[in-house]
Amino acid sequence: MRIEKCYFCSGPVYPGHGQMFVRNDCKTFRFCRSKCIKNFKKKRNPRKTRWTKAFRKASGKELTVDNSLEFEKRRNIPVKYNRDLWEKTVEAMKRVEEIKQKRQARFIMNRLKKGKQLEKEEAIVEVKKNIHLIKAPHAGKAKKLEDKMVQKLQEDVDMGDEDV
């Protein structure tokens, strides 16, 4: 019993689910649900259909080359059952999965960091351009001007006093 991969979306096909299509040249295609089958029949390229894993990997949105991804590989030479090997493998699998997920998350985070930078710049530009919507340009300046004039008069009076 194996969990296969859907040809179109690369999702898991559990036993008892999905369909398999065999072409005249003996190439088999497994699908997880009718959405993938319908897209395949419409001759859509999974590498160009945005919601599939194939697209995400091909356009660099997800981690593709990494050592933690080399562990899960379909091997053609069967290995004889050996209890401690199996036990060790299960433990190793869990650890590898952890590391893989950490790395994938880090990759995506790095990709999205640039967006944060752009956001910052956008905010600055926005504020510069449209500040007049929330604050009049000379808000508070009238008072300042008055104060300034009062101060100036005061100074003049002082000066006059001095002169006299």
Partner 1 sequence: MALYNFKKIMVVPTAKEFIDITLSKTQRKTPTVVHKHYQIHRIRHFYMRKVKFTQQNYHDRLTQILTDFPKLDDIHPFYADLMNVLYDKDHYKLALGQINIAKNLIDNVAKDYVRLMKYGDSLYRCKQLKRAALGRMCTILKRQKSSLEYLEQVRQHLSRLPSIDPNTRTLLLCGYPNVGKSSFINKVTRADVDVQPYAFTTKSLFVGHMDYRYLRWQVVDTPGILDHPLEERNTIEMQAITALAHLRAAVLYVMDVSEQCGHTLPEQLELFNNIRPLFANKPLIVVANKCDVKKINELSEEDQKIFADLTTDGISVIETSTLTEEGVIQVKNEACDRLLANRVETKMKGKKVHDVLNRLHLAMPAKRDEKERPPFIPEGALVRRKAMEVDAPKRKTERDLEVELGDDYILDLQKYWDLMNEDEKNDKIPEVWEGHNIADYIDPDIMKKLEDLEKEEELKEKAGEYDSDEESEDEEMQEIRVLAKQIKEKKQLLVMASKEKDVHGPRMPRTATKVERKKLEKQMGGLGLDMDDKDDSHYAQQARRSRSVALKRKRETSAPPTSKTRSQSASRPPRDKSGLRDPKMAKKAKKMMKNSQKDMNRHGKKGEADRHVFDLKPKHLLAGKRKSGTNDRR
Which range, of 34-42, 54-62, 71-79, 152-160, touches partner 1 by CB under 8 A?
71-79
C-alpha–C-alpha distance, residues 34 and 42, integer Å: 12
- Using the contact rule CB under 8 A, the part of the chain among 24-32, 37-45, 47-55, 65-73 near partner 1 is 65-73
Amino acid identity of residue 61, one-letter, is K
Please report, as residue ranges, which positions from 117 to 156 form the binding site for partner 1 (by CB under 8 A).
120, 122-124, 126-127, 130-136, 138-140, 142-143
Structure tokens at 163: 């002169």
Window 85-104: contact mask with partner 1 (x via CB under 8 A): xx-xxx-xxxxxx-x--x--
Q: Which stretches of the chain bind partner 1, using CB under 8 A?
A: 1-3, 12, 67-68, 70-75, 79-83, 85-86, 88-90, 92-97, 99, 102, 106, 113, 120, 122-124, 126-127, 130-136, 138-140, 142-143
